[in-house]
Structure 1
Amino acid sequence: MKEFPKLYTERLVLREITQDDLEAIFMIFSNPDVLTYYGMDPIKSKEEVGDLIQKYRVGFEHGTVYRWAIVREEDNAFLGTCGYHNWHHRYFRSEIGYELSPDYWGMGYMQEAARAILDYGYSELGMHRIGALISPQNKSSIRLVERLGFKNEGLLKDYAYSGGNYHDLSMYAKIKQD
């Protein structure tokens, strides 16, 4: 079994998500405020979270998904997750995704975590392009990726479907040398 990479920042440890994180992930993914712009409906059961954790592991084993738990180093508090999905090895590109418990919004944790996984994606995973699909209404996420050097490449009309509605998404991307 492949070993999942552990990353360290000034305040955080980014580590593999395990079944021990089930309760914390359920609290985040069942919160409608967190998922307002996420592109999925709130999770209703811990069984769904268990399946999600297993999908992260299988995706990692197949080299298509990397999803880190974001844990505060000082007290081991579970803050959220971040990682890569839609990874196309042939084209050296992937997309980044993330979510954070509302208890930790506005504290700079996600910028710190995202910067670490971007560096890892370029230096260790060989990525050339990293994208982010973001709702145009999600001003916090847009500010985050822009601070990280992402550029807006355009609007994708009715690109996502959740909550019984179609949603526009903006494509942001960062190229390795930018």
Structure 2
Amino acid sequence: MHIQSDRLQFRNYTDEDFQFLWSLLADPEMIRYIGKGQTRNKSEALEFLYWIYRSYKENPKSGLMLLVRKEDGKRIGHAGLVAQTIEGIDELEVGYWVAKEFWGQGYAKEAAEALRDYGLHQLGEKRLISLIQPRNTASHKVAQHIGMTIEKEVILSGQNVCVYAIEKEGQNGLPAIGNGKAVVKQD
């Protein structure tokens, strides 16, 4: 399965993408709002890649996917729908992470929109969340842009995290934001 947007192609990670993934995980500025905010060495980055592979096997319709710019095939980050358990409830998170050289170009918004549309319209999910640390203002703006609203704050991995959410149906049964325009192809 492949998801794409106007400028981005989503695809599963492969072993050839490891150096790119490690470059993200080893950069303190990139990782500061992810989990505990700690960089990862090569073996820890490899374990993270194996976690991504395991998530593909557990649920082939979700997981972190590499973001590739269509115009030149350049890897620019990753995004995906990731299973999370928040206060004992299973949720599906819209996650997005763009390499800093591509910040400010709208790629995170575009990826998040495509994932929102895919999750709500193609997968038929009734609700999606995003987990964002309070000081990560750029990610707060992305979540708000795709129609998410903040519900509460929780503690995950020792960090305060804002839980943003969007429901498939808005008030009075009206459709939530999202037009289903993400393009999904089955392999």
Q: Report the TM-score, using the length of structure 1 for normalisation.
A: 0.85
| Distance in 1 between residues matched to 2:149 and 2:31, nearest whole Å | 23
User: Which segments of 5 or more consecutive residues in structure 2 lack a partner in the other structure?
Assistant: 170-175, 177-187
Q: 1:113 aligns to what?
A: 111
Q: Residue 126 of structure 2 aligns to which amino acid in structure 1?
A: H
2: CA distance, partners of 1:102 / 1:87:
25
CA contact 1:92–1:129 (8 Å) conserved in 2 = no
Matched with 1:85 is 82
User: In structure 1, what is the equivalent of residue 41 of structure 2?
Assistant: 44
Letter in 1 for 2:83: N
Moved more, 127-136 or 48-57: 48-57
Structure 2 CA distance for aligned equivalents of residues 49 and 136 of structure 1: 25
Which letter does structure 1 place at the counterpart of 2:165? A
1:153 to 136, 151, 154: 151
Specify the code of the residue in structure 2 equivalent to 1:73: K
Give 5+ residue unaligned stretches, structure 1: none
CA contact (8 A) 1:93 1:127 kept: no
Query: For 1:71-150, what aligned pairs fall within 5 Å after superposition?
Result: 71-86=68-83, 93-150=91-148
For 1:79 and 1:127, how far apart are their aligned partners in 2?
Answer: 27
Q: In 1, Cα distance between the equivalents of 2:112 and 2:48?
A: 21
What is the DSSP-based 3-state SS (H/G/I as helix, E as strand, rest coil) of the residue aligned with 2:35? coil
Q: Quick one: distance in 1 between partners of 2:63 and 2:122?
A: 12
Shift in Å at residue 149 of structure 1? Answer: 0.2
Q: Would the alpha carbon gap of residues 176 and 93 (structure 1) be closer, same or farther in structure 2, given more than 3 Å must change?
A: farther
Contact kept? 1:93, 1:128, Cα under 8 Å:
no
Sequence identity (%): 25
Aligned partner of residue 21 in structure 2, secondary structure: helix
CA contact (8 A) 1:92 1:126 kept: no
CA distance in 1, matches of 2:159, 2:53: 29
Partner of 2:49: 53
The aligned amino acid for 2:125 is M
Report Cα offsets for 1:83-132 as digits up to 9, x if no partner. 122257xx884112221110000000111111111111112222111111
Aligned residues: 165
